[in-house]
Chain A
């Protein structure tokens, strides 16, 4: 048999190999990118006129419907305050609020997977949030015309009960939505609780105190520094609101003495303070239901001692993220460890089958002993300074903060938790331009907490 040897045939084998390799590479590309491609805003399988439509209902923890489909349209709750106070958690349908559940978890809401694609997509899946719309409404009313955010969570479970960010807008009101889109309402699409960072101010003293407690042990209570309406570091002043004289940890914490904590910071040293800042989540990424929050920052590189002093009391260039701070106060309330917070409880198919539940972890921040000592400091601060009566029947522990953010503007902060085991909540409240922590944030916190307590017991 005349068989021809033709080495030229290898070019054909090569061509086949190239094509098969190409398909294999495409499979890799597909496995990495399929979700991103399928959920792209031009995909008419799930988007109609640029708005996502094939998603189910979004309800709060009590079954109050926050968003649902009504024929061709997406409709929100009939109460304007509920709409305005929950819009950042729910999100819009165009993706302006990228951290809302309607955008961030649209894969689970549409029920996409690579095997089935978008075959016969009709109603989408339903989401249940952990927030209580009544508490959100109270927090919104308490904030009034001021900008800022309120976050309340159950520190035993990690569920977020309240998450409000202002400025906000009414998605059902065309004018309001149009103003928001035109940029007339400021950073209205940002959920500040998740996506902003703020100068912590005196709330940072919690961290400075924690570092000192761990480093000096029981002796820390005996350590004294002098406050002369402030102090001087290398001949530059750090002012303090009061003249506290010779003061030690508990007193300094209660009165939020800048002189004490700045000198304490210098005594601890840059490395130790940075170490503890990072234990408390600075320079790290936080996630809530898989959504990445804005990264906090604490950096003492190339600082002069005066700047280090300011950093020890939460000024200088330090920036913290409200979600991060909520985790920290939850940990203090909960024996040193927090449960990763979440605001989406579950997403289920119309027939009830659960397709998404957040993965939660327990994260240790400090030892139980240190946490208990910090708890006592925050308890004493309310007892001896802010007044337990400021919170009615609630047993609240907390720390105020007055953050100077330049041009004479001061942000008002109040962070803390309830000591009562039957009402185990932690909170973070920030009021931009609110002045001292006591004047604004504490009042807003009280309103929101009272509402939360009612909601809790009902």
Chain B
């Protein structure tokens, strides 16, 4: 490391976690509190902190990628510019969710850039696709009639995708959860997630809630069963958390909630009995260090990386964990902690907690059609994050779920961005209803 780079790195590695905490803190205020003026001021400051954060990352990128992978720098700058223009056009208000997402994406950039220029460009393209699809979905959601029309085709598509997966699916890393279409691999379960969240708010209607709930339950259980068959237990667990949340929010009785949880437990027990080796693999967590060269390999290396990074990290792309298999997907939390520091790693996790708390706030006023999918999306992010992060440090079973926005996966990124549309739509509905009731008064 030359001296100038080391100097810049020493400064930025302290400033970055501070800025990350500030972004999080200043997102907390407007997301959860009511005062409009203070919220707007907080948002403006927040944009400043975020841009400073991105600026310091940019400086690191200059040292790392300007010579060999200049396109990374170009795409990064393009993103930051477009982001700023968007914030400007929105007049720096009502952008709190976007700020959190952009923060998470910036952390993701650090991960992807270090993989390769091709990976980075691929992710940027997926980012673009995701944003376009999200906008599309946003427009569809706000137009209830179109949304209603789309329902049935969406179910068919979801089932079809899963069927294709079972018949033509390719196995990657132990789970058969991939489809190859024109030499592009994608995960159908990521796309079905969108349907899962979408239906959480539809198929109900307050009067018909009983049939609606049953239909939705059946759909979810079918998806979970298919995922179990495909051996993707992490995603199955995430689907189950979404299902549970949706069911709770649809105001069923406590008895039915217990029933649903019992059902889930029964499924898990069934798996344990039918596939004992699966149970063994899933419940082998907690012993990573005793099996450090075999089943505990990735988890122990993640813990080594987290400890080596310390609170402030060793600098983007200076870590060693990224040389290990699945470093950019399953154990990406370790890469983030090693390179950007434990503080930023925790900030990323707390971002999803913030999104969840925000979606709860929207519940009060927005229509269930909007607010329930928003909560479902938030719980999806949260449960996936928990499984990924705690699985990688051996506190939960190690599954192949990705860390939303940050893991290096095209389909994962697209689906995560598309899911934001649900939260934004709920937010729009929330603000619209709030204005309406204020007008009425």
**Which residues of A line the B interface, CB within 8 A?**
1-4, 6-13, 15-16, 18-20, 22-23, 25-26, 29-30, 33-35, 37-38, 40, 42-45, 113-120
A117-B309 in contact (CB<8A): yes
A9-B363 in contact (CB<8A): yes
Taken together as a complex, chains A and B put the C-alpha atoms of A23 and B350 apart, in Å, by: 9
Expressed in whole angstroms, the minimum distance between the Cβ of B426 and any Cβ of chain A is 13
**Residue-wise interface mask of B (369-380) relative to A, using a CB-CB cutoff of 8 A (1 in contact, 0 not):** 000000100110
Q: Which 4 A-B pairs have the closest CB atoms?
A: A117-B310, A8-B248, A38-B307, A37-B307
Stretch at the interface among B22-30, B144-152, B297-305: B297-305
Indicate whether B424 reaches chain A with its CB closer than 8 angstroms: no
Query: Which residues from 289 to 321 on chain B have a C-beta closer than 8 Å to any C-beta of chain A?
Result: 292, 300-301, 303-304, 306-315, 320
Query: Which residues from 305 to 352 on chain B have a C-beta closer than 8 Å to any C-beta of chain A?
Result: 306-315, 320, 338, 341-342, 346, 349-350, 352
Cross-interface CB contact of A16 among B10, B251, B382, cutoff 8 Å: B382
Name the A residues within 8 Å of B349 (CB-CB).
Answer: 19, 23
Name the A residues within 8 Å of B312 (CB-CB).
Answer: 115-117, 119
22 contacts between A and B (CB under 8 A): A2-B433, A6-B364, A8-B245, A12-B379, A15-B379, A16-B353, A16-B356, A16-B357, A16-B382, A23-B346, A23-B350, A26-B395, A30-B342, A34-B306, A38-B304, A40-B300, A117-B309, A117-B310, A117-B313, A117-B341, A118-B310, A119-B314
Known: A30-B306, A40-B292, A114-B307. 11 other contacts (CB 8 A): A1-B434, A19-B353, A25-B395, A26-B395, A37-B300, A38-B307, A116-B311, A117-B307, A117-B310, A118-B309, A119-B13
Taken together as a complex, chains A and B put the C-alpha atoms of A35 and B308 apart, in Å, by: 9
**Residue-wise interface mask of B (240-254) relative to A, using a CB-CB cutoff of 8 A (1 in contact, 0 not):** 010011011111000
Residue of A nearest to B396 (CB): A22
Expressed in whole angstroms, the minimum distance between the Cβ of A51 and any Cβ of chain B is 15
Expressed in whole angstroms, the minimum distance between the Cβ of A444 and any Cβ of chain B is 42
Name the A residues within 8 Å of B250 (CB-CB).
Answer: 8
A contact face: mostly helix, strand, loop, or mixed: helix
**Which residues of B line the A interface, CB within 8 A?**
1, 6, 9-10, 13, 241, 244-245, 247-251, 292, 300-301, 303-304, 306-315, 320, 338, 341-342, 346, 349-350, 352-353, 356-357, 359-360, 363-365, 368, 375, 378-379, 382-383, 385-386, 389-390, 393, 395, 433-434, 437
Residue of A nearest to B303 (CB): A37
Name the B residues within 8 Å of A117 (CB-CB).
Answer: 307-314, 338, 341
Given the contacts A1-B437, A13-B360, A22-B386, A37 and B249 also touching, CB distance less than 8 Å: no
> Among B308, B309, B364, which residue has the most Cβ atoms of chain A within 10 A?
B308
B315-A119 in contact (CB<8A): yes
A9-B375 in contact (CB<8A): yes
Expressed in whole angstroms, the minimum distance between the Cβ of A215 and any Cβ of chain B is 50
Residue of A nearest to B437 (CB): A1
Name the B residues within 8 Å of A114 (CB-CB).
Answer: 307, 310-311
Expressed in whole angstroms, the minimum distance between the Cβ of B357 and any Cβ of chain A is 6
Taken together as a complex, chains A and B put the C-alpha atoms of A336 and B346 apart, in Å, by: 55
B307-A34 in contact (CB<8A): yes
A119-B393 in contact (CB<8A): no
Given the contacts A4-B363, A15-B383, A44 and B320 also touching, CB distance less than 8 Å: yes
